[in-house]
Amino acid sequence: MNASFYVAALGACNQQERLNVVANNLANINTEGYQTKDLSFIELMRYNLNADGKEKTKLQAGAGSTYKAVTTNFQSGAIEQTESQYDYAIIGDGFFMLQNPETNEITYTRNGHFILSKHGENSYLANENGKYVLSTDKKPIVLVDGEVKDQIG
C-alpha cells in the first residue's frame, strides 16, 4: 500500500487522540482540583525517496507524526472563595499530601476541598474520601477546637 495512506491514517489517529484529550478536559471543567492535560506530538523519521541507496537525493518524505506524551498542566487554576473554613488553595508549585488511614498509602492532590473527619476522640483534616491531610512533617493534621494548628504539607 502507498506510504502516504499510512501517513494519512496515522494523522487521523493522532487527531482522534487530541480530541480525546480535549474532551476529557471539557468533561472535567467543573471538577475541583482538576488539572488539564496537554498532548504533544513528535515528527517521525524522514527518509530519502531514492530507495536504491546509490545516489543521495535532497528529496525526502516524512513518515508523519505521532503523539509523544500526555502531560498534566500543573499551573494554578482560578481561586474561588468558599464558605468552608477547611478549604485551601495552592498558589504556585506543590501538592497536598494525603494518607489513607487504613493502608497508610500516601497520595498527592491539588484539590484543597477538605472536611473535618472524626476518628475516635480526634478530629482530622481529611478529603471527602476520608484520607487524612498530612502536615509538613508527614503526620495527619489533628484539629484542635476545630482549627488547624499544623502547617499543611
**Structural domain boundaries of the chain?**
3-72, 96-148
- Residue 60: per-residue pLDDT: 60
* Whether residue 81 has pLDDT greater than 60: yes
Q: Is the separation of the CB atoms in 129 and 115 below 8 Å?
A: no
Instruction: Tell me the pLDDT band of 53, cut-offs 50, 70 and 90.
Output: low
- Residue 20: per-residue pLDDT: 94
Query: What are the C-alpha distances in Å from 50 to residues 23, 55, 97?
Result: 42, 7, 57
Cell of 54: 546509490
With CA atoms as reference, report the closest residue to 14 among 47, 43, 46, 36.
43
- Residue 147: per-residue pLDDT: 72
- Residue 73: per-residue pLDDT: 84
Q: Is the separation of the CB atoms in 132 and 98 below 8 Å?
A: yes
Measured CA to CA, the distance from residue 139 to residue 151 in angstroms comes to 10
* Whether residue 49 has pLDDT greater than 60: no
Query: Is the overall model pTM greater than 0.85, yes or no?
Result: no
Q: How many CA atoms, within 13 angstroms, populate the side-chain half-sphere of residue 83?
A: 0
Query: What are the C-alpha distances in Å from 75 to residues 10, 90, 91, 116?
Result: 31, 10, 9, 27
Dihedral through CA 81, CA 83, CA 87, CA 91, nearest 10? 10
**Planar angle of CA 129, 131, 135, nearest 5 degrees:** 145
- Residue 76: per-residue pLDDT: 76
Higher pLDDT, 45 or 28: 28
Kind and range of the H or E run holding 72: strand 65-72
